[in-house]
Amino acid sequence: MIIAIDGPAGAGKSTIARRIAQHFGIAHLDTGSLYRAVALEALGMGDPADPATAERAAKALDLSMLEDRRLRDENVTAASSVVAAMPAVREALLDFQRNFAQRPGGAVLDGRDIGTVICPDADAKLFLTATAEARALRRTRELQGDAGGAIYQRVLADMKARDARDSVRRAAPLVPADDAIVIDTSTLDADAVFAAALAAIADTLAVTKR
Ligand code: DC
């Protein structure tokens, strides 16, 4: 069973993907961490905005970097959406993601293009979304434990810039697959999103079996 979960930053994808994977006893891959690791590697090599540097970083990707705490740093976050817009970077990461999805028993992958490009034949596709304000508020709380004005404004601006880059790029832009079930998480807590996601997966699997 392959479950694809896509959506913008801060919509709650990774938390829900982890819980769904645990629920079904299958593996989980947060594909955003791949682009973050490429960005970190490219920053170490020089300029991540240089396509040749980013491609070299993607081809040299060391999977042990997926656990690196620096992947969440602000400069790495910003650089990740820059390298993610490069077709050669996406191409270099394709096989790893597709092979991961083919694990015996199945897998849950979350990202931006899982239902559209990486696993177009996934058994269930969810697209989690939320207003930019709700997503920025969550991210601010993660960063500092409250929603202080200055940080919130910066997080909101960064989030909108990243949404724009991820959505308008030509290579695998962020769009829901035609057959994805869209869940708006703006006013839902993690338990409610989990329940909605499980219900959507059960519905999809029931329809496919029929
Ligand atoms: O989900 P995240 O914030 O960790 O993702 C980091 C960046 O990588 C984000 O700008 C979008 C990009 N990304 C992508 O283009 N395709 C994916 N499948 C996952 C992430």
Domain that residue 178 falls in: 2-208
CATH number of the domain where residue 12 is located: 3.40.50.300
Among 43, 70, 81, 86, say which to mutate for ligand 1: greatest number of ligand atoms within 8 Å of CB.
81
Is the pLDDT at 118 greater than 90? The verdict is yes
Residues 108/28, Cβ–Cβ less than 8 Å: yes
At residue 129, the pLDDT reads: 96
C-alpha 52 to ligand 1 mean position (Å)? 20
Confidence of residue 209 (pLDDT cuts 50, 70, 90): low
**Ordered DSSP codes for 45-67:** HS-TTSHHHHHHHHHT--GGGGG
What residues contact residue 99 under an 8 Å CB cut-off, 6+ apart?
A: none
C-alpha 201 to ligand 1 mean position (Å)? 23
Confidence of residue 1 (pLDDT cuts 50, 70, 90): very high
Is there an atom of ligand 1 within 6 Å of 36 CB? yes
At residue 47, the pLDDT reads: 97
Alpha carbon of residue 73 to chain centroid: 16
Is there an atom of ligand 1 within 6 Å of 100 CB? no
C-alpha 80 to ligand 1 mean position (Å)? 7
Give mean pLDDT, residues 22-42: 97
C-alpha 81 to ligand 1 mean position (Å)? 6
What total number of domains does the chain contain? 1
At residue 210, the pLDDT reads: 65
Is there an atom of ligand 1 within 6 Å of 9 CB? yes
What residues contact residue 103 under an 8 Å CB cut-off, 6+ apart?
A: 26, 27
